[in-house]
């Protein structure tokens, strides 16, 4: 098995590599990032695709991708380098990055290093020169699949049947405790840039893998923001006397974080104002008595149309999730109703309560690099705090 000459210059340590899926599909490419990790052994995970044209740095540092290998459907990746001020968390979390063309010669006034150097420094392997159009089409047809990556100096050194067997042994994301891996371990008081503190309402953000831009959007609105770990007891949370609580985004299956579902159920009972985002939306749906199911290949990208059923307004949204709340499973007696729908597949994109100050969205209102259509979700939440 051989590859044509790459269209763009690659790092000097680039090696031949294979991505092998659990159904036997094989995709060949070349390495960048931490190639040595693929020489020492396989890198594994569920393989999902992202449809965004920009934002590869935000994708790499989104904790919701923990345990997954991400295919970028846009063909050219790396051309604007890495800006340390636009990361969404303290490090990249994805298992591997898969792209068509990698551009090592970046050009942007804020960039400080190449994507290759960034991934290499954090021990993340990546592949380029593989047929991402065929791979995305395969995942759309077959759904999310488990896979393994392996590199070698020569193609004949790779044992494809052994790699297929290894892919079939990969643990699915639903079997992993990924929330505790990505969350901060200790409480943190977050303050607005250039200010010692804030005079706005005290808001608690429960960290299940939050994106930095959620905090930025809240701090821009003047709130006093405290970040708490996901296993914070209810008594400790209430001792901070929050005006409201936000359940953040994060990775994995919401049914694995039963302690957070129980915590959310108590907060609903106490009529504490709540905002759920992505995983937080799913946790809130479970606490309301709903059920979750898995989407065939998930929603990953920044071009998903969503309608607010209350106003009829349609916006483009950024999304990154594999699971959904089943709208028909929400008990009528819970007081919750479906507030938003995805216009592509009619999946649930938001919940609200008829009388309590509670709402949730499946998409990312803080979306970075965009779109910015949905920042008003934070304003709506703060309005609920003011009404209370």
CA distance 103 to 121: 17
Going by C-alpha positions, the residue among 233, 226, 203, 212 that lies closest to residue 366 is 212
Q: Which helix (H) or strand (E) holds 159?
A: none
| DSSP 8-state class, residue 170 | P
Going by C-alpha positions, the residue among 189, 182, 183, 164 that lies closest to residue 66 is 182
CA distance 234 to 232: 7
- For 70, the token pair is 């991400």
- In this structure, the number of other CB atoms found within 10 A of the CB of residue 200 comes to 17
Within the chain, where are the H helices? 35-40, 56-60, 115-121, 132-142, 160-168, 179-182, 212-220, 234-239, 258-269, 279-287, 376-387
- For 148, the token pair is 């393994």
Strand, coil or helix: what is 205? strand
Alpha-carbon 311 to chain mean position: 27
Residue 255 contacts by C-beta under 8 Å, 6 or more apart in sequence?
A: 174, 286, 292
Give phi and psi for 225, each to the nearest 5. -115, 130
Residue 270 contacts by C-beta under 8 Å, 6 or more apart in sequence?
A: 238
Beta carbons of 99 and 126 less than 8 angstroms apart? yes
The residues assigned a catalytic role are 278, 364, 366
- For 154, the token pair is 């020569």
Beta carbons of 59 and 50 less than 8 angstroms apart? yes
> Cα 251–87–255 angle (5° rounding)?
10
CA distance 153 to 20: 17
In total, the chain counts a number of residues equal to 388
CA distance 355 to 348: 20
In angstroms, what is the C-alpha Rg of the chain?
21
Beta carbons of 234 and 266 less than 8 angstroms apart? yes
């Amino acid at each position: 098995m051989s590859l044509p000459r790459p269209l763009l210059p690659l790092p000097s340590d680039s090696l031949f590599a294979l991505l092998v899926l659990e159904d036997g599909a094989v995709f060949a490419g070349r390495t960048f990032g931490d190639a040595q990790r693929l020489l020492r052994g396989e890198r594994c995970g569920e393989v999902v695709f992202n449809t965004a044209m920009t934002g590869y740095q935000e994708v790499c540092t989104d904790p919701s991708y923990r345990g997954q290998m991400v295919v970028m459907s846009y063909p050219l990746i790396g051309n604007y380098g890495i800006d340390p001020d636009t990361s969404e968390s303290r490090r990249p979390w994805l298992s591997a990055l898969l792209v068509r063309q990698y551009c090592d010669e970046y050009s942007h006034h804020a960039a400080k290093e190449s994507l290759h150097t960034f991934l290499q420094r954090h021990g993340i392997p990546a592949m380029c020169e593989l047929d991402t159009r065929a791979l995305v089409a395969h995942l759309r047809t077959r759904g999310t699949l488990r896979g393994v990556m392996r590199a070698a100096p020569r193609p004949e050194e790779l044992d494809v049947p052994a790699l297929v067997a290894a892919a079939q042994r990969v643990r699915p994301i639903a079997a992993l405790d990924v929330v505790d891996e990505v969350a901060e371990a200790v409480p943190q008081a977050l303050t607005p840039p250039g200010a010692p503190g804030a005079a706005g309402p005290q808001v608690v953000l429960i960290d299940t893998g939050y994106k930095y831009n959620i905090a930025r959007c809240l701090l821009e609105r003047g709130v006093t923001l405290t970040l708490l770990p996901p296993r914070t007891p209810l008594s400790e949370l209430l001792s901070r006397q929050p005006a409201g609580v936000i359940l953040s985004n994060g990775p994995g299956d919401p049914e694995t974080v039963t302690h957070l579902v129980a915590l959310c159920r108590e907060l609903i009972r106490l009529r504490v104002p709540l905002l759920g985002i992505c995983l937080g939306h799913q946790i809130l749906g479970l606490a309301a008595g709903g059920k979750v199911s898995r989407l065939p290949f998930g929603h990953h990208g920044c071009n998903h149309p969503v309608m607010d059923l209350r106003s009829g307004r349609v916006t483009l949204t950024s999304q990154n999730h594999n699971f959904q709340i089943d709208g028909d499973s929400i008990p009528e007696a819970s007081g919750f109703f479906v507030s938003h729908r995805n216009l592509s597949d009619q999946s649930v994109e938001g919940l609200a309560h008829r009388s309590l100050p509670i709402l949730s969205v499946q998409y990312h209102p803080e979306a970075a690099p965009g779109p910015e259509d949905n920042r008003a979700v934070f304003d709506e939440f703060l309005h609920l705090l003011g009404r209370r």
